[in-house]
Structure 1
Amino acid sequence: MTTLTSEFAVERVKKSRVAEVDFNNLEFGRHISDHMVVVDYENGQWGSPSIVPFGEMKFSPAMLSLHYGQAVFEGMKAFHTKDGSINIFRPHKHLDRFNKSLHRMCMPSVPEELWLSSLKRLIEIDKEWVPKTEGASLYIRPFMFATESRLGVKVSDTFKFVILTSPVGPYQAKPYRLKVENKYVRTAEGGTGFAKCAGNYGGAFYPTQIAREEGFDQILWTDSKEHKYIDEVGMMNVMFVLNGKLVTPQLSTAILDGITRDSILTLAKEMAGFSVEERKVSIDEIEQGFIKGTLTEAFGTGTAAVVAPISVIHINGTDYQIPSAGPTSFQLQVKQKLHNIRMGLEPDTHEWNYLVKV
């Protein structure tokens, strides 16, 4: 049985650290805001949520999540809008994905009331941490992990749900140089690739490190059986403009259902001149697109970057170059449109924005 006591216990910091932050030079994840949400799950139900000063927690070295990886997280953003509100972008969709990830990892789901009230209350308290500089935002990191102390392999009976926030600047990384991976795999059909669980990321470190030593920025992951079809790029979804169409791998249990991916596909279907195809995309098809000149854009999509341009894809020993994205490119047009919706500059026809009045 899952129940919720929604009264918040709030302990505020004695002195805010926000004055120590240079909001004109924000490094992703470097600064954590003053407060965090903490909620415990035990005896089959959620306890009362608390908002406390960000700081260290005390845990047993035998905590199950440390040994068996029962841990899941999400990532979303909040923005200042033109009317002075703070917009949390698509929290319902993020909750849906979070709960699907939790279900896959045998963890209790988070009730919508707890999710929304925690986000709203935390933003209200730490509103000064939401950047007002152009292109910046407040990154929100909800996560849950098993807390039961036991060395036996089992599903934990107790869990802790936490939300942290961090001011982040605009994404400014150079276009990616990618290596097609044909040996290692990030995940496989039937596995946990669709879930945002911690092990997916830890398992990708080693092959990514090898790729970087070879002069690439990230990996273009392929399917685990044949290394023939594309899954993702790094930890982002990937899209191509091929033969004038927006093409992206169809979702499976090996591919994350990205919120930015879903947003871009939705907007693309409404933009004049673009048709969308969600289907299997082979490495051979992409290579032929380079050879014939029919592949004109390639980019990753995710919460952190929104759109991450790709400049090179290394296939079968050849570096294929992709033209730089110009102002009329699809990726920059759709990125701007998404930005306008989140900032309240264009109508939110899909009701993606969750506004917090501060």
Structure 2
Amino acid sequence: MILCSNYAPGIVPQMEAQKKGCQQILWLYGDDYKVTEAGTMNCFMFWENKQGEMELVTPDLDGTILPGVTRISILELVREWGELKVTERSFTMQELLEGLKENRVKEVFGAGTACVVCPVGQILFKGEMYEIPTMKDGAPLASRLLKTLNDIQYGRIKSPWAVDIEDLAEEEEGIRRKAR
């Protein structure tokens, strides 16, 4: 018998988080509280960094982060748009809290297969609730990403990630004709 349990260890902590009024868990790692994931989702922070650049940052794939399809899709889209700096690196709760205090954090969101993009409005850390300005302006980046990914998925916009089945069928028929 094989028992698979990649998400099972998070069930009890998730129940504890819900008792404290939280919908999800922000997983932190190490003594410096590196942000890793939001529940079973990759975590993103959109902020103005200390150099004054608008930046989307997400933890790098250091072995503690799963390399999700939605994660890489978001990174590729934002890079393609060319409007903000995109960074894959570890970041800590200290950086996030400092950014909040200095009004530099714009949005925090999780991303994954099931939810696609899920905005974060508050974070409970060491007994204190911190307001994240994600929903203050309607989560423009998270909303844009969700809309774009859905538009690609449903064929409303062309993308090299999506293949039109009718085009594929025509191409296949052409190959068959040549083979005859």
TM-score normalised by L of structure 1: 0.43
Structure with bigger gyration radius: 1
Q: Evaluate the alpha carbon distance shift between residue 260 and residue 233 of structure 1 in structure 2; reply closer, same or farther with a 3 A threshold.
A: same
Q: Displacement, 1:227?
A: 5.4
**Counterpart check, 1:218 vs 2:24:** yes
RCO greater where, 1 or 2, for CA within 8 Å and sep 6 or more?
A: 1
Q: Does 1:352 align with 2:161?
A: yes
Tell me the alpha carbon deviations over residues 271-324 of structure 1, each in whole angstroms, 9 at most, x when there is no partner. 142110100111100010111110010010011111101000112322111221
Describe the SS at the equivalent of 1:277.
strand
The alpha-carbon distance between structure 1 residues 265 and 204, as it changes in their structure 2 partners (threshold 3 A), is same
Contact 1:309 1:325 in 2 (8 A): no
Contact 1:247 1:279 in 2 (8 A): yes
- Aligned mate of 2:87, from 277, 280, 283: 277
RMSD of equivalent CA atoms? 1.9
Q: Give how far 1:208 is off.
A: 1.0
By how many angstroms is 1:356 displaced?
A: 4.3
Contact 1:325 1:332 in 2 (8 A): no
Count of paired positions: 161
Give yes or no for contact 1:297–1:325 (8 Å, CA) kept in 2. Answer: no
Secondary structure of 1:341's aligned partner: helix
The answer to whether the 8 A contact 2:107-2:139 is kept is no
1:302 paired residue number: 112
1:233 to 2:34 alignment:
no
User: Per residue, is there more helix in 1 or in 2?
Assistant: 2
1:252 alignment partner, one of 62, 65, 77: 62
2:99 is aligned with 1:292: no
- Correspondence 1:341 to 2:152: yes
Match for 1:205 among 11, 19, 34? 11
Percent of paired sites with the same residue: 32
SS in 1 for 2:110: strand
Q: Contact 1:313–1:320 at 8 Å: present in 2 too? A: yes
Taking a change above 3 Å as real, the CA distance of residues 214 and 327 of structure 1, as seen in their structure-2 partners, is closer
